[in-house]
Structure 1
Amino acid sequence: MGPLTPNTAELVLGLILFFAVFGLLGAVVLPRIERTLAERHDATEGRLERAEDARSEALRIYHEYQAELAGARHEAARIRQRAAEEGAALVAAVRAEGQRQREELVAAAAVQLAADRVVAEAALREDVVALATELAGRVVGEPLAAQPRTRAAVDAFFAELAVREAGAPNA
């Protein structure tokens, strides 16, 4: 038996053990190795795929958020514009109301002033008549208040004064 002629019993026993080990490896160990490799592949490649899915989902949500934010900015600008217009309208209305009240006050004051002027003129005329009559009576030396011509002369004087005032331009 030399190295080129093997022992048949050893050869058969070696082949049987080889196929038994090969079968055991193929049936038990190789599926476990494949499962472990698949798990590792899933762990690496699956994480990348899941990360990419998460990234795309985050981008979608970000774009939705940006769209909603743009809509909210547009709505806020519209609300600000409407508030500015309403404020301007309110200011104009309040200004018009104030102007109307001012005109009413000026008109009422003008009427009151005219009425006060008429009353003051009447009182002053009576005082001027009384003082002029008294002064004239002192100059003449006798009381003139009881004479009917006195009142007629004073009325004529005031009528002439009114005509002069109506003809003269106001300064």
Structure 2
Amino acid sequence: MSNIALIAASEGEVINPLLPETYDIVWSTVCIVIIGLAFWKFILPKFQQVLAERSDQIEGGIKRAEEAQAEAKETLEQYRAQLAEARTEAAAIREDARTQGQQIIAEMKVQAQEESDRIVAAGSSQLAAQRQQIVAELRSDLGRTAVDLAEKVIGESLSDDVKRAGTIDRFLSELDTVSANSAAGK
């Protein structure tokens, strides 16, 4: 460059180092125009297509997210409704079970009372039957003992059954009369 500057200085031209030559400006302009046309024709449409696709994806993603959120909210409301319904059913079942339990307890008490009454009645009738049997046995034993004592006191045998039965019956009736009078006197 120093040679060119010396040649140009000798010819008397003033050279501006910041200003390029005309042929450089022309060829640079031609290159820029070719690159600009290629960019405008091929790259810019692809770039716009990619931007449009991304814009659609973003808008679609937002729309899908909103739909998913609405669906989730609806599902949550359904879940809450089902939960409330389940709680209501559980309360009804508990109340039903409590009522049935009380009813069963009442039935069991009635059955137990009936069984107790039946057992007491059976025991009372059995006791009365045993009492009658014991009284009958005691009467016969008492009658034999009375006859034996009477035989010893009188000194003769009371072997006649008719006489013995009459004597025993009279003695027992007198005994019943005495015990009834003593029971009434108390």
Q: TM-score, normalised by structure 2?
A: 0.68
Cα drift, residue 78 of structure 1: 0.6
Cα root mean square deviation, aligned:
3.4
Matches within 5 A, 1:100-115: 100-115=114-129
Larger radius of gyration: 2
Give the 3-state SS of the residue equivalent to 1:142 in structure 2: coil
Tell me, yes or no, if structure 1 residue 155 matches structure 2 residue 172: yes
Q: Which residue of 2 aligns with 1:92?
A: 106
Runs of 4+ aligned residues of structure 1 deviating over 6 Å after TM superposition are: none
Q: Which residue of 2 aligns with 1:66?
A: 80
- Residue ranges of structure 2 left out of the alignment (5+ in a row): 1-18
Give the 3-state SS of the residue equivalent to 1:143 in structure 2: coil
Aligned-pair identity (%): 32
The farther-off stretch of 159-168 and 92-101 is 159-168
Q: Could you tell me how far apart the structure 2 residues matched to 1:161 and 1:21 are?
A: 152
Q: Could you tell me how far apart the structure 1 residues matched to 2:182 and 2:70 are?
A: 96
Tell me, yes or no, if structure 1 residue 33 matches structure 2 residue 50: no
Higher relative contact order (CA 8 A, sep 6+): 2
State the number of aligned residues.
164
Q: TM-score, normalised by structure 1?
A: 0.73
Q: Which residue of 2 aligns with 1:57?
A: 71
Aligned letter for 2:172? Answer: D
Aligned letter for 2:54? Answer: R
Q: Could you tell me how far apart the structure 2 residues matched to 1:168 and 1:103 are?
A: 34
